[in-house]
Amino acid sequence: MVKKILILCTGNSCRSQMAEGYMRHFAGDKAQVFSAGIETHGVNPKAVEVMKEDGIDISGHTSNHIDEYRNIDFDFVITVCDNAKENCPYFPSRARQFHYNFPDPAKAKGTDEDVIGSFRKVRDEIKTYCEQFVKDNIA
């Protein structure tokens, strides 16, 4: 049976977008993956850039609000930042909830190289998390 996964973050612009890309990559046709935010900030171009470096194209993703998915019965809801976990609305479903607080690369300061370095670091952490999540819960 195909699993339904929702990945939640504050603005659905960086972390949840990268996680959606990797979950789709690792789960293949075993899961339907969605991402959303408790707000919508648009997909961050630097997130698109660093994912492309790793061969994952998220340029077609959209920034979605959690309310758009109220009627889907998810198997898993993964929050990828503390703010989303604390403010996540209650979903009346049987979804198993997971949480991992990834740093927000959009808040990185410094030179352009410092900032893109932060995006790459968070991307790599998310990749590792998603690959392990699929092995443990989907495969």
Task: Give every CB contact of residue 98 below 8 A, 6+ residues apart in sequence.
Answer: 76, 77, 78, 79, 133
Name the residues annotated as catalytic: 9, 81, 88
DSSP character for 93? Answer: S
Residue 71 gets which letter from DSSP? T
